[in-house]
Structure 1
Amino acid sequence: MWSDKASGVRSDRPGLAGALKACRRGDVLVVWRLDRLARSTAELLKIADQLQARGVVLRSLTESIDTGGAVGRLVFTVISAMAEFERNLISERTKAGMAAARAKGHRGGRPAKLTDRQLGMAERLLADPVTTGQQVADQFGVHRGTLYRALADYRRRRELKS
């Protein structure tokens, strides 16, 4: 039994490579779902052709497909094309949703540790030669490096606005 922890979208999949290498004439390669085997119809058909040329049958448990016969091969091709189409639709919707969120001012990722108001205060505190960066960072409950990175970003954003 072989398994890959990585997504089917990645090409460096040692589990798949091992399974394909181990297949001999008369074997049946069983996969959970076709879309877990490959991410494009072309790649899936290439794998299926290689297996067929070596006398290996490909069987999917979820889709109940057996590529040993002509009908199974036809159904396999149609389902693999539909799986690729579905993945592409999901990708397009995700990208459109992220673009719409950005247009509304939402940004992805983790929330900022310091607000612009806090960064303005930090600049004023650091203007005093007696105050250290570590003291200001401690006051805001962040690491000193976080404070300085946030200040650099804050200053860069301010420059862009002016």
Structure 2
Amino acid sequence: MTTKNTRTLIGYQRVSTNAQDAQLQADALAEAGCSRIFEDKASGKNADRAGLLAALDYMREGDTLTVWKLDRLGRSTKDVLTIAEDLHARGIALRILTGTLAGSYSPKGEGKFFFTMMVAFAELERDMIVERTRAGLDAAKAQGRTGGRPSVMDADKLVAARARKAKGESVTAIAKALKVSRATLYRALADTE
């Protein structure tokens, strides 16, 4: 007796940093009917993504890898095309939920050409974002501005911290009095010594 091979939707979601939230992707993948979702918190240009590797290893012929948007699969044209071709060779479909390529990938004829172009555009977009960010940071630096959060240790707090430390107060007591963390106080004192 032969059993019919049914498609199982397997989701893959990725955010670039731990500070980003993948909930939007998770909701879309769950709504699409994914029975299992694998996740990475790593840059798309990073080829060593444990979640993606686990998803690729988990899937069997007849399954469908589902991603929220093409750029979640990867940023490098070569890597995305390699993944897509490998999936096709194994009899695994690729489904993209949103964006220009929403739908299923077909590695034949016009579908392959269009897919290749869209992957190349996604890589170009990423490169342009990196370039603009770098140019903006360089321009700000040239104007004497630096990025990041403002320092909680201003000059007055630093003078007070040094004076209290000279009197023998503990770092814990000084940090509490100045309403800063001990790590911040240690850093500020180390930077001035």
Under TM normalisation by the shorter chain, which class is it? 0.7 to 0.9
Unpaired runs of 5+ residues, structure 1, are: 156-162
Question: Is 2:146 aligned against 1:111?
Answer: no
Match of 1:39 in 2: 75
Q: Which amino acid aligns with 2:169?
A: T
**Residue 169 of structure 2: which of 93, 117, 132 is its match?**
132
More strand by share: 2
More helix by share: 1
Tell me, yes or no, if the aligned pair for 2:85 and 2:107 is still in contact at 8 Å. no
Rounded to whole Å, the distance in 2 between the matches of 1:149 and 1:17 is 39
Question: Is 2:111 aligned against 1:72?
Answer: yes
Q: TM-score, normalised by structure 1?
A: 0.74
Q: TM-score, normalised by structure 2?
A: 0.64
Match of 2:39 in 1: 4
Structure 1 residue 111, shift from structure 2 partner: 2.1
Q: Give SS of 2:79's match.
A: helix
Rounded to whole Å, the distance in 1 between the matches of 2:124 and 2:82 is 18
Q: Give SS of 1:108's match.
A: coil
Distance change >3 Å, CA 85–CA 65, structure 1 → 2? farther
Between structure 1 and structure 2, the one with the greater Rg is 1
Unpaired runs of 5+ residues, structure 2, are: 1-9, 11-36
Distance change >3 Å, CA 124–CA 66, structure 1 → 2? closer
Deviations 1:7-59 (A, max 9, x none): 45244434422332244444443332211111200100111121222233323
Rounded to whole Å, the distance in 2 between the matches of 1:45 and 1:107 is 39
Rounded to whole Å, the distance in 1 between the matches of 2:67 and 2:114 is 16
Match of 2:31 in 1: none
Q: Give SS of 1:142's match.
A: coil
Give the aligned CA root-mean-square deviation in angstroms.
Answer: 2.7
Q: Number of aligned pairs?
A: 153
